[in-house]
Structure 1
């Protein structure tokens, strides 16, 4: 774990505890801004938090009111009293609300750091509203030790009062988090298994026989995006076939690729990639049928009037889904609807649900996903888990068969507790969650390995998550270059080694001997296995599967 020497994990680096005596180190930002301290009504004080600084932490109910703000940049600030260490991930936690001037609307409030009086580092953002406290869940990391740093709380329009409760900055303790996750993983992903060989004959005949159990496949898939270029690279193909179970096309299935010019359909690239995946037995996610963000829509589509666009949408659905019916187990139907609304703006509120309904009609076997970014990061007011759930509920009420939730996972400075909080909230929908486009960006490859482990352990330990797809893995052949797992020459870097090590850790093997009752017991990860029994007459092999379950799995080994 990177650079944790001399880091204290349970200390807040800004002064809030002395609010009873005044404003502690807080100062107003803006010539008209005034600060005052207040007590929240007990019934309005938040009762739940992901803040793990101190075992008995609960929101205090004491808050600072920033009023008289004449500009969005106005608010409050405080110098950080403790030394910030480079290469350490810090959490920004606390509670934000709005006061007078909000008029029932919600507004983005941001917490930033000003380092050495010039560099601004993003520390987190929330979509705040009056009468409700919203927990801020930010994170940051510095590349070098600063001479000085201060925390700034800003945002919301001029004239809107901002309330701040219990703001904290503290270092994350990843080792402690990983210890908890290993226990959680054991419960979520493993099961006790009893292999009964007694039915094969008298137990005494095989008692003491040597047995070896080897896991062949995991029921939790990892995959990656591919394109027509990378499948020509032997090093890419070698790593892909050895370490990934699924694939997704980077661009080749998108509408702007298959129909760049109106009426000129080109599925050749998608067909070639499907043939490649078929050769290696890799299922493929369908990404994506439509893309809601306007700047991703090809110009000829933008030029259509209402009726022409309606016809073009139907044509896209008919063409794609009849051609590939049954080939893609998943579809991302209309990508990034939290961040774009091109089709909805042009065709009305029902169009997104219509896309889902028509996809179900044309390819009823496919699981249909919503897919968006920043939901798991806690730093995008436009993409909170609550807004994602609201969107899913709205689609379902209009008859859309939403079958899965896609979290893209383009992450920087990930924090496990923040990711877990988003997963917990999304799990209330009872829909499976996939990380659909994972890349963890960090130029320092040692830190990248640590960051990647944070994300993968959180995903694997959470019962709602059913798969992880990387958005590429090879240097020079992926969207975010500081996220690669293998270098351009094919050598595996530290991040790639960490991924391989985790996959190895999450694979079960067992050795031993049959007991006097003809039994062999072990605890294994969910997946498919082969058992090898060695007796005086030779070796016998048999396959079996370990599925999810809360009770021990008893399997009759009829050899």
Structure 2
């Protein structure tokens, strides 16, 4: 991991965070802004938090009220006196609410930023705050160099709206400690005790040598492909060795298959499907529609509403009848938290209609919602709570939502924030989650490897997550260039090596001998195995599967 020498973890760098000393250390931002300290009613103090900076931390209930704000940039600030280290991930935590001037039920973005050396502004987190509710900040930042001076700012919400801040904290996060917890969690979630019972033949083979090898995992990893990359031998080599699934980068999107009205082009998607068939890779269907307006073809925008309704039905009919049974999963209407083109044109039911009609045309496919930033904690438009509301609204209209896609376009990830999002989505929906477009962006490849490990360990350790798909992995063939695992010359960089090492860590092999009871016991990751038994007369092989389960799996070998 990247060096974190001389870093004190979990030490809050904000002085007087809980306001025991009144406003000491705090200053207003804006010539009209006034700060005051208040105590929240006990019943309104938040009781749940992902913040583990203190062993028994609970919100204090004391908050600063920033009133008289004349501009969105007005708010409050505090200089950070402790030294900020480069290459260290700092978490930003605390609670935000709105006071006077905020309309009931209206949410406004409030942002926490770091101003470094009075010139550089570093984003530290954002929440969608409302009056009468406390929203938890789940931000993070990392610096490339040690600053001479730094200050944290809380700003946002329209002029005239009072902002409340409770227990603001900035602290270095200890990833190694988090990984230790995740290894224990992974052992419970992804592994199972196995007893291979060699039965009545035990008397003749007691003490015989046994070797167990895992052939594949029940937890798939995948990557996106396109017609260009499958012509690259280095790409194909890494893809076929280290990935189990595929997704097409653009070739199944409507703007690709019907760039001009009535001129259907499935040649690229057919060729990519043939490639995946040759290598035995299932493919996610991405995507039937895309809700963001700037991704919609101009000819579609030119249609009147009746024509658009017909075109939507035509797209569904064309795609899902052509490829019925070929795509185990579909992203139905991509990024509905960030776009509403079809809903804005055709009404509130159109999104659910897309799901219902897709299920009718291809009933075997699992239908996903898919969006970005939900797992990051930095986008007020894409919180887990808003995603849950969207899913519930679709289901109420009869949409058979079968899975949740978290895209995973990540920068400087924080494991606790990712886990919190997964916990909330799982508890509220009981739906499987996939990371569908993972790329971890960081120019420093050592830090990129660390960041990637954060995301992968959180995903693999969480019982709701059933797969991870990368949005590319090779330099020069990715949407975000500072996220590659493989360099353009085919060499595997540190981030790629970290990925390979994790896959190796999450693979089980065992050796030993049959005991006097005719048993061979081991604990292994879920997946498919082959057991090799060496006896005086030769070697015998048999395959078996280890599925999820809380009790030991006893398998009769019957060799």
The answer for unaligned runs of 5 or more in structure 1 is none
Deviations 1:332-386 (A, max 9, x none): 0000000000000000000000000000000000000000000000000000000
1:428 Cα deviation after fit: 2.7
Asked whether the equivalents of residues 61 and 166 of structure 2 are also in contact (C-alpha less than 8 Å), the reply is yes
Tell me, in whole angstroms, the C-alpha distance in 2 between the residues paired with 1:459 and 1:17.
Answer: 32
1:199 Cα deviation after fit: 3.4
Deviations 1:289-334 (A, max 9, x none): 0000000001000000000000000000000000000000000000
1:10 Cα deviation after fit: 2.0
Deviations 1:445-491 (A, max 9, x none): 00000000000000000000000000000000010000000000000
**Greater alpha carbon shift after TM alignment, 16-25 vs 513-522:** 16-25
Asked whether the equivalents of residues 396 and 402 of structure 1 are also in contact (C-alpha less than 8 Å), the reply is yes
**Greater alpha carbon shift after TM alignment, 277-286 vs 18-27:** 18-27
Asked whether the equivalents of residues 95 and 135 of structure 1 are also in contact (C-alpha less than 8 Å), the reply is yes
1:17 Cα deviation after fit: 4.3
1:61 Cα deviation after fit: 0.5
1:15 Cα deviation after fit: 1.1
The two structures, once aligned, show a CA RMSD in angstroms of: 0.7
Tell me, in whole angstroms, the C-alpha distance in 1 between the residues paired with 2:354 and 2:145.
Answer: 49
Tell me, in whole angstroms, the C-alpha distance in 2 between the residues paired with 1:46 and 1:333.
Answer: 36
The corresponding residue for 2:520 is 520
Deviations 1:5-25 (A, max 9, x none): 000012111113462322121
The corresponding residue for 1:400 is 399
Tell me, in whole angstroms, the C-alpha distance in 2 between the residues paired with 1:16 and 1:546.
Answer: 53
Tell me, in whole angstroms, the C-alpha distance in 2 between the residues paired with 1:527 and 1:461.
Answer: 16
The corresponding residue for 2:93 is 93
**Greater alpha carbon shift after TM alignment, 427-436 vs 438-447:** 427-436
Tell me, in whole angstroms, the C-alpha distance in 1 between the residues paired with 2:19 and 2:309.
Answer: 59
- Provide the secondary structure at the position in 2 that maps to 1:466: strand
1:204 Cα deviation after fit: 2.0
Tell me, in whole angstroms, the C-alpha distance in 1 between the residues paired with 2:374 and 2:402.
Answer: 18
Asked whether the equivalents of residues 111 and 125 of structure 1 are also in contact (C-alpha less than 8 Å), the reply is yes
Runs of 4+ in structure 1 off by over 4 angstroms are none
1:93 Cα deviation after fit: 0.1
Deviations 1:136-168 (A, max 9, x none): 000000001111000000000000000000000
Asked whether the equivalents of residues 18 and 62 of structure 2 are also in contact (C-alpha less than 8 Å), the reply is no
Tell me, in whole angstroms, the C-alpha distance in 2 between the residues paired with 1:378 and 1:18.
Answer: 22
The answer for unaligned runs of 5 or more in structure 2 is none
Asked whether the equivalents of residues 199 and 557 of structure 1 are also in contact (C-alpha less than 8 Å), the reply is no
TM-aligned CA distance change 1:18 to 1:367, over 3 Å: closer
Tell me, in whole angstroms, the C-alpha distance in 2 between the residues paired with 1:186 and 1:505.
Answer: 11
Tell me, in whole angstroms, the C-alpha distance in 2 between the residues paired with 1:274 and 1:368.
Answer: 19
1:2 Cα deviation after fit: 1.2
Tell me, in whole angstroms, the C-alpha distance in 1 between the residues paired with 2:424 and 2:279.
Answer: 36
Deviations 1:244-263 (A, max 9, x none): 00000000000000000000
Asked whether the equivalents of residues 192 and 553 of structure 1 are also in contact (C-alpha less than 8 Å), the reply is yes
Tell me, in whole angstroms, the C-alpha distance in 1 between the residues paired with 2:306 and 2:181.
Answer: 55
- Provide the secondary structure at the position in 2 that maps to 1:146: coil
1:105 Cα deviation after fit: 1.1
Tell me, in whole angstroms, the C-alpha distance in 2 between the residues paired with 1:96 and 1:389.
Answer: 21
- Provide the secondary structure at the position in 2 that maps to 1:19: coil
Asked whether the equivalents of residues 199 and 556 of structure 1 are also in contact (C-alpha less than 8 Å), the reply is no
1:420 Cα deviation after fit: 0.2
Tell me, in whole angstroms, the C-alpha distance in 2 between the residues paired with 1:327 and 1:144.
Answer: 50
- TM-score of the superposition, structure 1-length normalised? 0.99
- Provide the secondary structure at the position in 2 that maps to 1:402: coil
Asked whether the equivalents of residues 16 and 167 of structure 1 are also in contact (C-alpha less than 8 Å), the reply is no
- Provide the secondary structure at the position in 2 that maps to 1:21: coil
Asked whether the equivalents of residues 332 and 368 of structure 1 are also in contact (C-alpha less than 8 Å), the reply is yes
Deviations 1:173-202 (A, max 9, x none): 0000000000000000000000000233xx
Asked whether the equivalents of residues 258 and 265 of structure 2 are also in contact (C-alpha less than 8 Å), the reply is yes
Tell me, in whole angstroms, the C-alpha distance in 1 between the residues paired with 2:6 and 2:51.
Answer: 22
1:26 Cα deviation after fit: 0.6
1:441 Cα deviation after fit: 0.2
1:437 Cα deviation after fit: 0.1
**Greater alpha carbon shift after TM alignment, 103-112 vs 510-519:** 103-112
